[in-house]
Amino acid sequence: MAEFTLDLNDDQKQVRDWLHGFAADVMRPAAAEWDEREETPWPIIQEAAKLGIYSLDFYAQQFFDPTGLGIPMAMEELFWGDAGIALSIVGTGLAAVGVLANGTEEQIGTWIPQMYGDVNDVKVAAFCSSEPDAGSDVASMRTRAVYDEAKDEWVLNGTKTWATNGGIANVHVVVACVDAELGSKGHASFIVPPNTPGLSQGQKFQKHGIRASHTAEVVLEDVRIPGSCLLGGKDKLDERLARAREKAKAGGGERVKNAAMATFEASRPAVGAMAVGTARAAYEVALDYAKTREQFGRPIIDNQGIAFQLADMRTQIDAARLLVWRASWMATTGKPFTAAEGSMSKLFASEVAKKVTAQAIQILGGNGFTREYPVERMHRDAAIYTIFEGTSEIQRLVIARTLSGMQIR
């Protein structure tokens, strides 16, 4: 029987240290500038591509790490560097996961490379699910996909919102409704290829945090895409819809997974790891500050009020990391989330990030409230973790439903 260990192996340690060096030497010095500019940091993405960090090969290697720790380890280190820049680097990954979760081998091989481009011409991709009137309530989605059988084309109409890289992406993955009567079970995912007529960027959002990451509306007006751009293919979709209709007629409660949820379930532990990275960054700043800042003739860490806060911060960060690692290991080894462990990891880690970054500001006092110190930015960045890819309230709902087996509302 294999010995139980939480130690990273030598390869993992090497990757971790490599990413940490990039985060410390390239991302952190540029973090404040790109936060103020509120623009996509293309030069840093380009540098990441040159080093092999922004590439399909790198993420594939981490994704297929047999321990499951490759992706969360990478996310933690990059988001320790800076959340906004890191999201610009890894945001394409959500679209790639959408294709991996729902696409055929041919679709995966065709479209994921186009999401990243190459070292000399980097590209990004966008996953488009949320809508102005359908965020957490995915059943209310209004974007429609209608099949034109004569031309073997799908026609998409609607507006997506809160799309990372929306409008500037080379490839957009769009979740749309194909059968409104089935609610969220009538959804499917589609690839919108580069330069497809009818797709345009709507409003670009000026955000509270993660401001170096581009977030915008995506408008779809009679967007025509080939039938082959339906992820998974039409036969699979027809089979799934027929099964859902039969269950609806029979009043059955069997769960039929929809396209957006398949993507989010695969990515929630990774979001938890992002939150851990931001929390850890803020904790380290606060710890260093408390050890060097003197008041009344001694470092402020000599006071229990400060020292105990730091002890709690570190304990919560480590607990969050363990939940993320457990969920990631379970997903990789094929163990089912019988207690919604993926949602647990995202819920706890995101709440910890908000709390720890707020405590860091408090420990730094007035300095923490200024942009001269990074904890102010980290606190703004941390707010997103309890919102995107399922709010904390939605995570609690998922956990409660899973534990009880009841459709809690």
Q: Which of 200, 189, 88 has the alpha carbon at shortest distance from 141? A: 189
Domain finish residue from 70, 103, 122: 122
Are 136 and 245 in the same domain? yes
Are 213 and 169 in the same domain? yes
Query: In the chain, what is the straight-line distance between the N-terminal and C-terminal CA atoms, in Å?
Result: 44
User: What confidence score (pLDDT) does residue 254 get?
Assistant: 45
The burial of 321, by beta-carbon neighbours within 10 Å (0-12 exposed, 13-18 middle, 19 or more buried), is given as buried
Q: How far is CA 267 from its chain centroid? A: 6
* pLDDT digits 0-9 by tens, 54-65: 998 898 899 899
For the whole model, what pTM was predicted?
Answer: 0.92
Domain finish residue from 84, 106, 122: 122
Across the range 178-189, mean pLDDT stands at 91
* pLDDT digits 0-9 by tens, 99-148: 988 999 999 999 999 999 999 999 999 999 999 987 666 667 999 999 99
User: Residue 389 is part of which domain span?
Assistant: 259-404
Cα–Cα separations (whole angstroms), residue 131 to 216, 217, 341, 382? 11, 9, 27, 22
Domain finish residue from 250, 270, 303: 250
Tell me if 217 is assigned to some domain.
yes
Q: How far apart are CA 108 and CA 285, in angstroms?
A: 41
* pLDDT digits 0-9 by tens, 358-393: 999 999 999 999 999 999 999 999 999 999 888 999
Tell me if 271 is assigned to some domain.
yes
The catalytic site residues sit at 389
CATH code at position 108:
1.10.540.10
